[in-house]
Amino acid sequence: MQMARKFGVIAWGAIAAAIIVTSSARAEDTCPAGTLGVSRTAEVDTTGGPWFGEPYGNRDFLAPGEIVLTFDDGPSPNDTRAILAALAKECTKATFFVVGSMVADHPEVLKEVVAQGHTIGTHTWSHPNLAIMSISRATQEIESTFDEVQKVSPGTVAPFFRYPYLSSNKTTVDYLHSRNIGQFAIDVDSLDWRFHNPKDVIRKVMGGLKSRGRGIILMHDIHKSTADALPELLAQIKAAGFKVVNLKPKSQVQLIADVTPPATHATGVRLAAQKFKHQRTAMRTRKTPAADPIW
């Protein structure tokens, strides 16, 4: 991943000047008093496939005190819905980076996320490590997921992408540059996939926000512990004075229609899901240097 990061830095430098992010300072005035709400909506220009979040993104994308809530790996019936309920109670918005096979399995849950006004980005079809596969397979993983969201909920998928395990290489980064798809890293990691404990999730997020003062927060909507943590976490975020920024794309993603997903039949989808589970287990249990975190 370190090599991938070097490539990414070079690529980022080459396009940094091309990034334009505009924001409306409009406050959400429809939220009940006392809720966290949304402080502003940021219209994100993904022309040139820029990075957002550490280490390559423009730090000034967010002002001090501003945060973005993100959830990866769903949609899942129980946990995504519980997270939606917690977000709705605080009248606030998030971005969901969805997995294509999960969308295929739970299209109705994706529609609920969309109906509640949240933003949809993607996170590959079967959650593989894109940095170690052929670019043709990697693009199939990427494009079939944008396609699947389009099929389930036309016109709602943003040109926003997050790499599984944040693992990229020069080829994948260049590809997303060419596709004008924003590449989302993170600033604050909840480590919810590791702890599975609401108190630890809250502690990690609030600790990260305290030290960074702003940032894109990573959580996962496939864990009950994350859903359980969210009401208290949002209360603490509100009490600490942080402001939620809602991300919306300036332009729609240009879809490559009818890309066949990597697994094309029911057994294949199940196998992909199994592999996904095993990969995550393997990644969780390996000895990983603290400087090289995984998602």
Catalytic residue list: 72, 220
Rounded to a whole number of angstroms, the minimum distance from the CB of residue 150 to Zn ion is: 21
Classify the phi-psi angles of 128: left when phi > 0, otherwise alpha if psi is within -120 to 50, otherwise beta.
beta
Give the whole-angstrom CA distance, residue 183 versus residue 246: 17
Q: Tell me if 192 contacts Zn ion by CB under 5 A.
A: no
The contact mask relative to Zn ion for 13-52 (x = CB under 5 A, - = no) is ----------------------------------------
User: Interaction with Zn ion in 231-270: which residues (CB under 5 A)?
Assistant: none
Half-sphere exposure of 269 (CA within 13 A, CB side): 14
Residues within window 63-82 making contact with Zn ion, judged by CB under 5 A: 72-73
- CB count within 10 Å of CB 78 equals 12
| CA count, 13 A, side-chain hemisphere, 140 | 12
CA dist., res. 192 & res. 220, Å (int): 7
The contact pattern for Zn ion, residues 150-179, with x = CB under 5 A and - = no contact, is --------------x---------------
Binding residues for Zn ion, total number by CB under 5 A: 3
Site string for Zn ion, 102-141 (x = CB under 5 A): ----------------------------------------
**Residue 175: Cβ within 10 Å count:** 19
Q: Which residue's CB atom is positioned nearest to Zn ion?
A: 72
- 24 forms beta bridges with 41
Q: Least distance to Zn ion from the beta carbon of 97, Å?
A: 7
Q: In the complex, which residues of this chain contact Zn ion (CB under 5 A)? A: 72-73, 164
